[in-house]
């Protein structure tokens, strides 16, 4: 029995509390904005974690700063600019459109357009091939009909 209660006590260990942050917010909009920002800002110390997930010192500091800025009534864009100003574009998960990142943004659209163009062109060549020889077309239709009626 005492072993069971000891096991149960393990469930309420301190580490379970450590992950929780209880931050007081005046209203839900600010709380939501804070949550959104810590999800979208990237920890500069860890290679691929947002600051909400990371417990690196720099992430703790960035979360605190984000909280402070949100409490002061700054907008989402202002907080992101504040961080990008210090840590560069690396810190935000959606990179801005500039000459360096142009390829990143344009390549998917370019590929899609190329694919559509290729598909349309193929269809056209098939159709023009069909139209270019009506006599052969008729002959072929006749053969197909004959084959079908045999069955």
Partner 1 sequence: MRKWLFFAPLAIFLGVSVFLFTGLFSDPWTRDSALLNRPLPAFDLPDLMQPEQRWNRELLTGEPFLLSVWGVWCPTCKAQLGFMTELKEQGVKVVGLYYPLPVDPAFGDHFSLGQLQRDVQRELAYFGNPYQFNILDENRRLSLDLGVSGSPETFLVDANGKIRMHHVGDINPRVWRQKFEPAFEQLQQVGLAYQGAQP
97-124 in b/e burial notation, b at 16+ Cβ within 10 A? eeeeeeeeeeeeeeeeeeeeeeeeeeee
Q: Shortest Cβ distance from residue 62 to partner 1 (Å)?
A: 7
Q: Of 33 and 44, which has the nearer Cβ to partner 1?
A: 44
# residues near partner 1 by CB under 8 A: 16
Residue whose C-alpha is closest to residue 38's, from 67, 74, 77: 67
Q: How far apart are CA 56 and CA 12, in angstroms?
A: 24
Q: Shortest Cβ distance from residue 54 to partner 1 (Å)?
A: 11
Binding mask 72-111 for partner 1 (x = CB under 8 A): ------------xxxxx-x---------------------
Q: Which of residues 19-48 bind partner 1 (CB under 8 A)?
A: 44-45, 47
Q: How far apart are CA 82 and CA 62, in angstroms?
A: 10
- Residues in contact with partner 1 by CB under 8 A are 44-45, 47, 56-58, 60-62, 65, 84-88, 90
């Amino acid at each position: 029995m005492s072993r069971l209660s000891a096991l149960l006590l393990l469930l309420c260990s301190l580490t379970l509390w450590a992950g929780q942050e209880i931050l007081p917010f005046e209203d839900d909009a600010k709380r939501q904005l804070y949550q959104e920002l810590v999800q979208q800002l990237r920890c500069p110390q860890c290679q691929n974690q947002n600051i909400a997930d990371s417990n690196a010192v720099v992430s703790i500091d960035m979360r605190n700063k984000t909280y402070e800025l949100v409490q002061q009534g700054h907008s989402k864009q202002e907080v992101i600019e504040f961080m990008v100003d210090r840590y560069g574009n690396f810190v935000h998960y959606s990179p801005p459109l500039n000459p360096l990142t142009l390829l990143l943004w344009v390549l998917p659209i370019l590929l899609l357009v190329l694919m559509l163009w290729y598909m349309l062109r193929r269809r056209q060549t098939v159709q023009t091939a069909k139209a270019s020889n009506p006599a052969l077309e008729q002959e072929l239709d006749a053969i197909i009909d004959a084959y079908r009626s045999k069955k």
